[in-house]
Amino acid sequence: MLLGLVGWVAVGLIIGFIVSKFLDLHGDDPNLGIGVAAASAIIVAGAYSWLSGAGVSAWNVWSLLFAAIGAVAGLVVWHGIRSRYVSRTPHTRRRSY
């Protein structure tokens, strides 16, 4: 069971890292997106295991696939919501007087 959870987290972290490199985050912290991807991978893969009755096993291909799908879906929703609240104005550097 623990190895399955570790696999889901690993898939979420990898997907989150890859997507954070390709998306324009508009100044948002990429670590938040990576964390959201890992959390959504756990939620979706856990829901798949619960609904299918397969249980959590080590390296179940279908649960890893659903973890990847969940990570991508979580990132799309996260960046869709977050992009409305992140300022697009360029940051000004503070200089000493």
Which residues, other chains included, contact 45 with Cβ-Cβ below 8 Å and sequence gap of 6+?
A: 8, 11, 63, 64, 66, 67, 70
Evaluate whether residue 88 is within a structural domain: no
Number of folded domains in the chain?
1
Evaluate whether residue 39 is within a structural domain: yes
Evaluate whether residue 96 is within a structural domain: no
CA dist., res. 35 & res. 46, Å (int): 17
Evaluate whether residue 90 is within a structural domain: no
Evaluate whether residue 91 is within a structural domain: no
The pLDDT score that the predictor gives to residue 80 is: 82
The pLDDT score that the predictor gives to residue 95 is: 67
Evaluate whether residue 47 is within a structural domain: yes
pLDDT tens string, the chain, 97 residues long: the values are 788 888 889 999 999 899 888 876 666 778 888 999 999 999 998 888 888 877 777 678 888 888 899 999 998 888 888 777 766 666 666 666 5
Q: What angle do CA 7, 55, 10 make, to 5 degrees?
A: 10
Residue 46 belongs to domain spanning: 2-82
Nearest CA-CA partner of 59 in 4, 1, 2: 4
Evaluate whether residue 89 is within a structural domain: no
pTM of this prediction exceeds 0.85 = no
Evaluate whether residue 10 is within a structural domain: yes
Which residues, other chains included, contact 58 with Cβ-Cβ below 8 Å and sequence gap of 6+?
A: 3, 4, 7
